[in-house]
Structure 1
Amino acid sequence: MKKILPLIIIVVFSVIFYAIYKESTKSLKIKRLACQAKTTTFERVFAQGPVKEGIDALLNKNYIIKSNIEYSKYMKSNIKQSVYIEDLDRLLTSVIDRYAKPTDSTDTKKVLIEYYLYENDKEDKGKNNDKAKEYAGYLMFDFKYDNKLIYKIQTDYSFVDTRDVEERMECAINSFISLKGK
């Protein structure tokens, strides 16, 4: 019995250590939704924030949009004459409307959606490798509720004419809303 107890303790500690190790080394590349696997997508949930409340506000159409476009600086922009912030905001609003389910909630707090469209600058000397030049750009979304960052997602778009931007916006909104089930 004296020899079995230390063995059991070692096994228990080994299992606990292994579980902690596996959790802490999870890849950022694990995708929760199929749309996230279509292009390079990174996300982060800020657990200390009121995520469910932010999602409820979005679904109740209690949101504010702040947006920006970062055009390429070193190469001639492919989108400067064709992509405008107002059009992107309308596109995002129409995507959100597809998910909106207004309720009788009396909560008037709004979720702030700060996003920007970045045009990949393929002539930027700071690009470390050719893989960084493969995509056309990316969308970066920050979702804030009650002045707290609750969710962040970055997703690449593939076409220089931005025809897949709506799909990537839909993925970002769907990714955020899908956290409600967690």
Structure 2
Amino acid sequence: MKYIYTLLTLLLIVGIAFFSFQGNSKKSGKADRIACHKKSVVFEKVYDENQFEKVKNALYTGAYKLTSRVQKSVYMKTRMFEYVDLKDVDKLVENAIAQYKKQIPNTGNKVGVDYYIYENDKADPGKKTVKSKLYAGYLHFIFSYGGKKVYAVQVDFMDLEGKDIDKSVECAIKSLVTL
């Protein structure tokens, strides 16, 4: 009887330790798979594993519809869009996708490539840490297929004049095709 209580106590301790470790090991959305992820802050998430290859194949064939917009700062004077033109960034996105173009037949729908350029609003009273005010902005991409969100990636950039946006665009597209 003494051994049964000892065994049950031991199993209880092991069970508690196991489940508490499992609860603390949640995976962060922060990416560090490829070299560009180590140079800037990147978050990515796959929403639909089943459609993911279809998204990549459609991009490889050039079958996509690009939608873009900007999100200007609210609390501080907008400066970034004096230097950054949305049409120029659209061309950067198109060129980044074209680097991965392959001569394969498109077997399905077009991919929706929806992105926006966010200007970091450093005067926002909700931003309390110094770290949250370091970057100039970020690019947020959502890739959808058949009307459903399949993959999202967000890549920060540091230059207020947008001189490093091209690297962020390339990183976002590379993040998708290397997954």
The TM-score with structure 2 as length reference comes to 0.84
Residue number in structure 2 paired with 1:134: 134
Q: Report Cα offsets for 1:21-49 as digits up to 9, x if no partner.
A: 28952333351212112111111111355
Rounded Cα–Cα distance in structure 2 between residues aligned with 1:49 and 1:130: 40
Residue 101 of structure 1 pairs with residue 102 of structure 2: yes
| Structure 1 residue runs without a partner (length 5+) | none
Are the equivalent residues in 2 in contact too, given 1:60–1:101 (CA < 8 A)?
yes
Equivalent residue, structure 1, for 2:91: 90
What residue in structure 1 maps to residue 173 of structure 2? 173
Using the alignment, how far apart are the partners of 1:48 and 1:101 within structure 2? 22
What is the alpha-carbon distance in structure 2 between the residues aligned to residue 37 and residue 150 of structure 1?
24
Q: TM-score, normalised by structure 1?
A: 0.82
How many aligned positions are there? 171
Following the alignment from structure 1 to structure 2, what is the Cα–Cα distance between the partners of residues 85 and 121? 18
| Bigger mean CA offset, 43-52 vs 63-72 | 43-52
Deviation for aligned residue 1:124: 1.3
CA RMSD for the aligned pairs?
2.6
State the one-letter code of the partner of 2:48: A
Residue identity matched to 1:123: A
Which residue of 2 is the match for residue 58 of structure 1?
59
Distance 1:96 1:56 in 2: 12
What is the SS of the residue equivalent to 2:152?
Answer: strand
Tell me the SS of whatever aligns to 1:126. coil
Distance between the aligned counterparts of 1:47 and 1:109, measured in 2?
Answer: 15
Match for residue 67 of structure 1? 68
> Conserved in 2, the CA contact under 8 Å of 1:74 and 1:124?
yes
The answer to whether the 8 A contact 1:49-1:145 is kept is: no
Q: Deviations over 1:40-93 (max 9, x none)?
A: 111111135500001100010000111001122222222222222211111110
Structure 1 stretches of 4+ with a deviation exceeding 4 A read: none
Distance 1:161 1:117 in 2: 12
> Counterpart amino acid of 1:139?
L
- 1:104-115 aligned at under 5 Å gives the runs 104-105=105-106, 107-115=107-115
Say if 2:135 and 2:158, in contact at 8 Å, map to a contact too: yes
- Which residue of the partner structure matches residue 41 of structure 1? 42
The structure-2 alpha-carbon separation of the partners of 1:142 and 1:178, relative to structure 1 and needing over 3 Å to count, comes to same
Gaps of 5+ in 2: none
Q: Report the residue type matching 1:94 in the other structure.
A: N
CA 1:122–1:148 in structure 2 vs 1: closer, same or farther (change >3 Å)? Answer: same
